[in-house]
Amino acid sequence: MKSNSLNLVERVTAPTPKWFKIIRTVGIALTAVGGAILTAPVALPATIVTVAGYVLLGGTVATAIAQTAMQTEDNDKKEMKEDIPTSENP
pLDDT in tens, 3-27: 567 788 888 888 888 999 999 999 9
Provide the b/e sequence for 24-50 (b: ≥16 CB within 10 Å): beebbebbeebbebeeeeeeeeeeeee
pTM of the full structure: 0.69
pLDDT tens digits, 41-83 = 999 999 999 999 999 999 999 999 998 888 877 655 665 555 5
Query: Would you say 59 and 30 are in contact if contact means Cβ atoms under 8 Å apart?
Result: yes
Strands (E), 1-90: none
User: What is the per-residue pLDDT for 37?
Assistant: 94
Dihedral of alpha carbons 25, 26, 31, 36, sign: positive
Give me the count of residues in the chain.
90
Bigger pLDDT: 33 or 8? 33
